[in-house]
Amino acid sequence: MNRWSKRYLCRIAVLAVLSGATVAVSVLAAQDTDAPARNAFGQPDIQGYWNFGTLTPLQRPEHQADKPFMTAQEAREFEQSIVSARQARFEREPDGPNIGYNDFWDEWGDGVGDNLRTSIIVSPADGRIPPLTPDAVLQRSAADEDVLSERPARFLLGGISKDGPEDRGLSERCLVGFNTGPPMLPSKYNNNMQLLQFKDHVVIVTEMIHDARIIPLDGRPHMDPAITQWSGNSRGHWEGDTLVVQTRNFTDKIASLSQPYAAWGSAENMQLEERFSLNGNGSLVYEFTINDPATFVEPIQGILHMRRSPDRIYEYACHEGNYALPGILAGARQAENR
**What total of structural domains would you count in the chain?**
2
Domain assignment of residue 172, yes or no? yes
Residues 4 and 107 in one domain: no
Shared-domain flag, residues 8 and 66? no
- Taking Cα atoms as reference points, which of 167, 161, 157 lies closest to residue 188? 157
Angstrom distance (rounded) from CA 144 to CA 163: 17
Q: Is the pLDDT of residue 97 over 90?
A: no
Sorted by sequence, the CB contacts under 8 Å of residue 149 that are 6+ apart come out as 139, 160
Domain for residue 328, yes or no? no
Say whether both 288 and 316 belong to one domain.
yes
User: What average pLDDT does the segment 158-175 reach?
Assistant: 93
Dump pLDDT digits (tens) for 216-227: 999 999 999 999
Write out pLDDT tens, residues 26-40.
333 333 457 889 999
The SS3 call for residue 4 is: helix
For the cut 60, the answer to whether the pLDDT of residue 17 exceeds it is no
Q: Are residues 9 and 63 in the same domain?
A: no
> Are 309 and 281 in the same domain?
yes
Sign of CA dihedral 30, 31, 34, 38: negative
Residue 215 CB neighbours (<10 A)? 21
Residue 42 forms part of a structural domain:
no
What phi, psi does 291 have (nearest 5°)? Answer: -120, 105
Alpha carbon separation from 165 to 142, 153, 162, 256 (Å, rounded) = 17, 10, 7, 22
- One-letter amino acid of 216: P
Q: Which residue has the higher pLDDT, 215 or 211?
A: 215
CA proximity to 240, closest of 96, 42, 54, 13: 42
Domain that holds residue 211: 49-321
Question: Which of 125-134, 136-145, 237-246 bottoms out in mean pLDDT, i.e. has the lowest?
Answer: 136-145
pTM: 0.85
Rg over alpha carbons for the chain, rounded to the nearest Å, is: 23
